[in-house]
Amino acid sequence: MSNVIVIGAQWGDEGKGKIVDWLSERADVVVRFQGGHNAGHTLVIGGTEYKLSLLPSGVIRPGKLSLIGNGVVIDPEALLKEMDKLRGQGVAISPENLKIADNAPLILPLHPALDQAREAAKSGEKIGTTGRGIGPAYEDKVARRAVRVADLADADVLKKKLDDLVSHHNLLLQALGAPTFTVDGLMAHMQALAPKILPFVAPVWRVLHQAQQAGKKILFEGAQGVLLDVDHGTYPFVTASQTVAGQAAAGSGMGAAARSYVLGLCKAYTTRVGMGPFPTEETTEVGEHIGQRGREFGTVTGRKRRCGWFDAVLVRQALQISGVNGVALTKLDVLDELPELKICVGYECAGQQLDYLPASQAMQAAVKPIYETHKGWQSSTRGARSWSELPPLAIKYIKRIEELVGVQVTLLSTSPEREDTILVQDPFGG
């Protein structure tokens, strides 16, 4: 395959940053195709930790072209801060190695204000948004009133769009008791940022087409996970974008017929951030142990993640929806000390047994996991770089996961370090 699409097969936080960085050594181009700065990746390279939110993970590697596609909603101020921070860590970022889609929608200061005001006004169960304006920005895109990256180069178009946005959103902000915005204030803000953003702007779809024509290897980097997809996730406790593999084409401008290997990432257990159903959640000391050992805190928000056992039902569903060819299993070492492990193999709901998670919100909240129990290996897998270094019970656990989800584990990550990875099959076919 000349293209590889990496997606999360759970609720995000599966360790995509490290895997994408590891794969980017084999790629020529790395592309972000959805989400915004609500998603975060952490890379650990030579003991140095790099935290990314908007920038593709390939930007850390010299000689790689990084692209931010049209499916991403971009907060220009957040992007510039991220670039400055990485430059401070010695990472070279310029228009030569980073290009931003001219048709990508922008997050303006009014978007996080709307996001936070609406969440605060909810009287019932909250969605758990990060409050960064991702949802409102996608809403404006669908409503055809978004300011796009290319608009930064045209003051007349920018002002007209800001007029429409302010008149539309100030009514709701005022009703929610939140501060309102002025066209002049937003215009000044965006025009101050424009000269710093515009040098990176390009028709990314065209850059991708040229790369494909030249036989370049392209890596598509998803954010979050399939279970947060606005259509296929645990709705309404989802993100505002499509997180499935099919979005790689729409969110970048790549031809849908282009052949790609889809790699689905999942942890050896399960986590999620924020509200919503979580059938295998452990609120006992086991969940606390997993969270502490796995350092389960959000890269972007620092929020503590909810932790639980591996849910083979949900992962199988996510892999089928995205047409996954191979699985990258991460954080196996987090389970090293546990004497007993559980895997969810089905659900019980209203006297019925289910082998999938239904779309009904009420049923999602009501399902109870059916577990099978496995003996823990209780020895270290951390840093293993070959199957021969793994305890037999750890291999048995991995093989059982393969059987249950119906897809082979082709990559195994045994620590946050780049080289602590066991390769079974190279997604690029090398």
Instruction: Judge if the upstream peptide bond of residue 358 is cis by omega within 30 degrees of 0.
Output: no
**Residues with Cβ within 8 Å of residue 106, at least 6 apart in sequence:** 73, 74, 75, 76, 137, 146, 147, 148, 149, 151, 152, 190
**DSSP letter assigned to residue 246:** T
Residue 152 phi/psi, 5° resolution? -65, -20
- Helix, strand, coil shares of the chain, percent, nearest 5, are 35, 20, 40
Distance CA 230, CA 282 (A): 25
Integer angstrom CA distances of residue 39 from 75, 331, 389, 412, 414: 13, 19, 33, 22, 22
111 is catalytic: no
Give the position of tokens 């019925």. 352
Catalytic residue among 13, 21, 229, 311: 13
Catalytic residue among 41, 111, 169, 232: 41
13 is catalytic: yes
**Residues with Cβ within 8 Å of residue 347, at least 6 apart in sequence:** 279, 313, 353, 354, 355, 357, 367, 368, 369, 370
DSSP letter for each residue of 290-312? HHHHTT-B-TTT-PBPEEE-EEH
Confirm if 369 and 387 have CB atoms less than 8 A apart.
no
- Upper half-sphere CA count for residue 23 (Cβ side, 13 Å): 35
CB-count exposure of residue 390 (10 Å: 0-12, 13-18, 19+):
buried
Catalytic residues: 13, 41
